[in-house]
Amino acid sequence: MSRYVVRVVGPAGCESYLFRGREVGMEHATRYDHPSAARKAGESFRGKRCRQWLICDVIDTRDPERTVAS
């Protein structure tokens, strides 16, 4: 079951999630099978947008308070 999502935190502290290269709410976010796949998508998003001030991390949907290190 796919359960990992990419969380994007902007400079003002606003949280959004990734769906095909766009920022959306949690309910529409792309679910990844493995944390490394989600991490790769987050790094790609940061690189394309040239938004080095963004924080992209991987969240396990079973425990949204904890980030996943991959």
User: What pLDDT, on the 0 to 100 scale, is given for residue 55?
Assistant: 86
Residue 69 banded pLDDT, cuts 50, 70, 90: low
User: What pLDDT, on the 0 to 100 scale, is given for residue 2?
Assistant: 75
Residues 1 and 34: their CA atoms lie apart, in Å, by: 10
User: What pLDDT, on the 0 to 100 scale, is given for residue 62?
Assistant: 87
17-39 residue pLDDT tens: 999 989 999 999 999 999 999 99
Measured at the CA of 25, the angle between CA 21 and CA 30, to 5 degrees, comes to 50
